[in-house]
């Protein structure tokens, strides 16, 4: 049990969904990870709005919500009791490693699951720095966000932001967005209520971490 009131299995489910970065069917939780999500725990996680579950064929599929990300971060930095044995010991060791990384770097937990998708930018000569398109587009993104947001940290749909970025290509904007998530104070997250997404909002999403992200938040305007 953690300080957040979740069992070790429930925390494991949140972690698995974070790693997957997308919907995962209930049978696959057990098949891939050996995790059995019983009805009581599923309903608990649904009631707390930490995961969303929906029927797909004969199975339920689950998705981690924004609140689930926050709760997972709380759980990671809390004291957690794990089952005895090698599996529990390994899980606690990995959680301790994650906790140390977050403490040392000040990063968000979600950043750890995005690193493989963040483009590696080769060093540029000082005289060519002004020509780096990603930096220029990131500046445009900041300016467009400031124009749309009523307050710092407000979630703004990428569907509203993209039209304000001039002649930047889709690829250039996506590359800049993926790089910006490594900047403190910048978050790019999925819309937790998928039912309200319009076709345009879905098309404007940027995909990384195996998940479509529809909203951006910048703490400092």
pLDDT of the chain along its 221 residues, tens only? 445 588 888 888 888 888 777 788 888 888 888 888 999 999 999 999 999 999 888 889 998 888 887 887 777 666 666 555 555 566 666 666 666 666 666 666 666 665 444 444 444 444 433 443 556 899 999 999 999 999 998 999 999 999 999 889 999 999 999 888 877 788 888 887 878 889 999 999 998 766 789 999 998 76
Q: What are the strands, taking DSSP E only, across the chain?
A: 24-25, 51-56, 59-64, 156-157, 186-189, 206-208, 211-213, 215-218
Residues 13 and 108 in one domain: yes
119 within domain boundaries: no
118 within domain boundaries: no
Residues 31 and 102 in one domain: yes
Residues 104 and 60 in one domain: yes
- Which residue among 63, 85, 113 closes a domain? 113
- CA–CA distance, 50 with 46 (Å, rounded to integer): 6
Contacts of residue 16, Cβ cutoff 8 Å, sequence gap at least 6: 24, 29, 32, 33, 35
212 within domain boundaries: yes
**% helix / strand / coil in the chain, to the nearest 5?**
55, 15, 35
Number of Cβ within a 10 Å radius of residue 125? 7
Q: What is the CA radius of gyration of the chain?
A: 19
**Structural domain range at position 97:** 8-113
Q: Is 63 helix (H, G, I), strand (E, B) or coil?
A: strand
Instruction: Taking the CA atoms of 144, 145, 150 and 151 in sequence, report the sign of the dihedral they define.
Output: negative
- Which residue among 53, 87, 113 closes a domain? 113
Residues 83 and 141 in one domain: no
- CA–CA distance, 168 with 212 (Å, rounded to integer): 20
Residues 82 and 143 in one domain: no
Q: Specify the number of domains making up the chain.
A: 2
């Amino acid at each position: 049990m953690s300080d957040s009131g979740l069992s070790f299995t429930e925390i494991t489910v949140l972690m698995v969904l974070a790693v997957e970065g997308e919907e995962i069917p209930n049978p696959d939780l057990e098949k891939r990870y050996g995790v059995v999500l019983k009805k009581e725990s599923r309903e608990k996680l649904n009631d707390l709005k930490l995961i969303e579950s929906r029927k797909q064929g004969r199975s339920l599929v689950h998705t981690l919500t924004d609140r689930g990300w926050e709760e997972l971060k709380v759980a990671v930095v809390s004291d957690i009791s794990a089952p005895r044995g090698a599996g529990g010991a390994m899980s606690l060791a990995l959680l301790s490693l994650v906790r140390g990384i977050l403490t040392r770097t000040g990063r968000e937990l979600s950043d750890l699951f995005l690193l493989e998708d963040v483009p590696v930018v080769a060093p540029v000569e000082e005289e060519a720095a002004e020509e780096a398109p990603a930096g220029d587009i990131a500046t445009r993104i900041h300016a467009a966000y400031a124009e749309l947001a009523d307050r710092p940290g407000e979630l703004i749909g990428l569907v509203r932001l993209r039209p304000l970025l001039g002649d930047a290509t889709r690829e250039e904007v996506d590359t800049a967005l993926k790089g910006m998530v490594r900047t403190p104070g910048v978050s790019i997250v999925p819309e937790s209520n998928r039912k309200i997404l319009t076709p345009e909002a879905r098309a404007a999403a940027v995909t990384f971490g195996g998940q479509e992200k529809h909203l951006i938040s910048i703490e400092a305007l």
